[in-house]
Amino acid sequence: MATEIERKFFVINKDWETQASRSDRLTQGYLTQGGERSVRVRTKAGGKAFLNIKSSVNGISRLEYEYEIPHEEALEILDNIALKPLVDKVRYIVEAGEHTWEIDVFSGENQGLIIAEIELGSEDEQFEKPEWLGAEVSGDPNFYNMNIPNQEWRKTYPEELLLKYGGTVHETIKYELEDCIDGC
């Protein structure tokens, strides 16, 4: 049995960009919506594709299974079966202390959202919090990957999220949009 223990945070500035060691464009679509599980198909640059199955969240832990599938079949599933809109993002890898961070910069329907994720060995594992890390959103269903396409995070922006997270969403969106003034 595979268990994923993951924490998520807002990203509040661009300081992480110079620390990124690599990146990968990801497109993913969900075959289920809400409920006690998520099933998604994800494609990566370079022709790789995966089927991923996760249980509902229990704290910051959940069961997770992932299997490589043929890229062409993944594209067919995304086009013909997956719920819309699809999620498009670039995932950057950043090493900080003893851990690896995944920084997801969303595009398309979710332009402006930037989330940092860290996978841990246990729920109480300690880790270094980089200066570019904002408020934690691990327990907020609006920021579960399967809910990102619903854009609940955008519907409540800015007042409720600004109050809840101390302005970190505003700053994230602000710096992302400043780079896209002439079209993204």
Could you tell me the CATH number of the domain that includes residue 28?
Answer: 2.40.320.10
CB 43 within 8 A of CB 75: yes
Length of the chain: 184
pLDDT of residue 10: 86
pLDDT of residue 83: 93
Long-range CB contacts for residues 64-69, cutoff 8 Å, separation at least 24:
64/2, 64/3, 64/4, 65/2, 66/2, 69/41
CB 101 within 8 A of CB 22: no
Domain assignment of residue 42, given as a range: 3-178
Q: Is residue 111 part of a domain?
A: yes
Three-class secondary structure of residue 120 per DSSP: coil
Q: Is residue 56 part of a domain?
A: yes
d(CA 11, CA 5): 19
Q: How many angstroms separate the Cα of 47 from the Cα of each of 27, 40, 103, 178?
A: 12, 17, 21, 32
d(CA 91, CA 103): 5
Q: Is residue 77 part of a domain?
A: yes
Number of domains within the chain: 1
pLDDT of residue 178: 42
Q: What angle do CA 84, 69, 73 make, to 5 degrees?
A: 55
Q: pLDDT tens per residue, the chain (184 residues)?
A: 587 889 999 888 888 999 999 999 999 999 987 777 889 999 998 899 999 998 876 667 778 899 999 999 999 999 999 999 999 999 999 999 899 999 999 888 788 788 999 999 888 999 999 999 988 888 888 888 788 887 777 665 544 444 444 444 444 444 443 443 344 3
Q: How many CB atoms are closer than 10 A to CB 11?
A: 26
pLDDT of residue 104: 94
Q: Is residue 183 part of a domain?
A: no
Which residue reads 């101390």 in tokens? Answer: 166
Q: Is residue 53 part of a domain?
A: yes
Q: How many CB atoms are closer than 10 A to CB 80?
A: 7
Those residues whose C-beta lies under 8 Å from the C-beta of residue 180, and which sit 6 or more positions away, are 111
| Active site (catalytic) residues | 30
Q: What digits encode the pLDDT tens for the residues 76-120?
A: 999 999 999 999 999 999 999 899 999 999 888 788 788 999 999
The two tokens of residue 74 are 């993944």
Q: Is residue 73 part of a domain?
A: yes
d(CA 79, CA 64): 24
Biggest distance spanned by C-alpha atoms of the chain: 48
Q: Is residue 184 part of a domain?
A: no
Q: Is residue 122 part of a domain?
A: yes
Cα Rg for the chain, rounded, in angstroms?
A: 16
